[in-house]
Structure 1
Amino acid sequence: MQYKTLDGNIGELKFYGDISEWWISGADFTRTIEEMASKFVEIHIRAHCFGGDVFEGNVMFNALQRCKPKTKLFIDGVAASMMGIVMQACDEIIAAENAWVMVHCPTGYQQGNKKQMFQAYKLLTGMEKNFTKVFVARTGKPEKYVEAWFDGTDYWFSAEEALAEGLITSIGKPVVDNVVQIDKPTENDQVESVFGRFAALMSPNSNANNETPIKDQKMKKEIIAKFGLSGVTEASTDDEVMAAMQQKIDYSGAEAKALKTTAIEALISGAENATQKKYEASLRVSLVAVGEASGLGVLQSMLGLNTPSVAAAAAPAAPAAAAAPAVPQVITMLNGTLVNASADDRAAWAWDKWQETDPDGVETMQKAEPEKFVALYQAKFGVKPVL
């Protein structure tokens, strides 16, 4: 990590990126902080981070707590998730007036037996308790008040809201003049949310000749490099970069879907080879549907490909399965036929039932069955959602 001297007594470290072993690691951060602590009486950290690995973040938090010089963290754009925890170890936290802070519960992925699942649950619960202690110590709010931030929702706080909650100590001026005020990121505005990570550091393009200011060029160059955009340069307009971002996301989505389809076919063919039995066309269609709706992990378990050696032989080209969402209906294999092992009828579920029992299923429904999702939403809230 790079830092510079503001004067003879203050050093400034730039923390722009995610918390992880491959981006900004706890080890690298600790070495840098310790080196700065030996040179300066005060350390400033300029942060723009959407969070990352909890364990790497804990290393950073502990390094800042051990730091003897005074520490100030300036939120230039966003301090979200794990960065919201790390920054609490600093003596002062100053957010730009157009910056954002996001707090939510830790998340993780686990696949395995019930003991492994329970261990993952205990780990995440322990993380939440540690996060609660950190925020209680900073904000002075009751434990029950802070625990409400870990209900599964992403809580976005503007600089003013963060100050009112005690998450920061003061509000500073924007990094540049004429700063674009971003809205709270939403899942429905994927491109705008991603692009908005950088918008707090960019001023509007107001030149009559459509020339991009130097500061914008530098930031756009970072965006283009980070997301591998093609057909645009740092001299491109905001709209052109946004269009390239949308194209990238659309392509990535289609590519991922094609890869998943290939993996599903590989698992089914592998199971057929392992059992020396060819599935009927109707059964194969049902298996594909399960893989698409419930994930590769569920399909793999249903086909009896739970052991690493068998699974690898069955689908050597398949990507690692992500944690599968809740299965709408538990289906098992019996003598080459599909058997519905679930007694529930989800067609009759109302919005509250879905949220209580299978919130992931609601998200899947929104993408796979938008008409059903709209009807469910409208029945609950009386208005149609914006998809």
Structure 2
Amino acid sequence: MIFQVQDNTITAYGEIWDRNGMEFISLFSELEAKYSQITVKMHSYGGSVFDGNLIYNAIQNSKKEIDFIIIGIAASMAAVISQSRTDKKPKMVRNGFMMIHAPSGSTYGGALDHENNAKLLRSIETNLINSFSKGLNKSKAYIAKWMVGDNWFDAEEALKEGLISEIVEAESETISASYNPQEIGAQGMYYQFTALLNPKNSQQINLDHNMKLPIIQALSLQGVNEQSSDTAVIEAVKKHFEAQATVTQGKLDAEIAKRITAETALADQGKAAITAELDQAKKEGKITPANQATYEAIGTTSGIEALKTVLSAIPARNPIKAQMQNAGGTGSGSATGREAWAWDQWQKEDSKGLEALLRENPEGWQALYDAKYKK
């Protein structure tokens, strides 16, 4: 919103943005300290409900005499603000409009985020109904109808409903009757009025010192000063934030690169640890190359500690040669050198040991058999 202060009059134009509430309170407080009577002029299509409430409360709670004049349109939250004084309803220019509807908003997130926002909107809507009902002495059911769709009131209709106390002469040329508020919407009506607005006071809004200089100083803008055009200042602001965005994006990209590097190093360490555990398990005879992939998957998905736990539960196996030696001892009782015996030597020198080998070490027996018959 743009605020102009001249003597005891504060004029508010445009959309109600975040922090406009505190800006209005600051300017309004200065007027309260100087004047017993303050005039608030407004031409707005609404905006932030919460900042609008700050403006509403400041006007409502003021101990000064307040005259509120709608000089163009008062739509959405601006319409609510216009009703802030219970002791004196606002005035409206003859070609002005007011629009009332339910609060709206958007939410990004999960179901709970949307539900909480819906709950908040319903609460705000209830407060609006109660406020209009009390201020206009109308039933809540009557006001609730105004919460459905956009409800436009020209000056005569607003006066009939008690939304304004008086119709005053227009501060702009007459809006053409061909303009339909329902068709062009609140913003469209706002801009139509703004294009035709010609304040009776010849002094125009001067943003150079009231807005440009503080912005230039706060953002340390380069290449512009308070005498620069609005376009030049806006471009400087745009470049300022684009530069900040570039720096921020660079820092973000660097942090992402660091994180990827760290995650890659951690993953490599994890793979190395898994490989070491599997190699040791193979040496101990706990696993074989055939089932290694199964245990590797355990380590990859569940972590090295889970793999260690699984492997620790598997008993170590004696090497085949040692088992062959032990099995061979059931025959002649001599195991020396039998780990190198072939099938024929077993049959010739210790056939009973070969039978025992089949029972006690089928893998070793199968290896001898394959070497003999599957050449």
Provide TM-score, normalisation by structure 2.
0.49
The structure with the largest helix share of the pair is 2
Provide TM-score, normalisation by structure 1.
0.48
Asked which structure has the greater CA Rg, the reply is 2
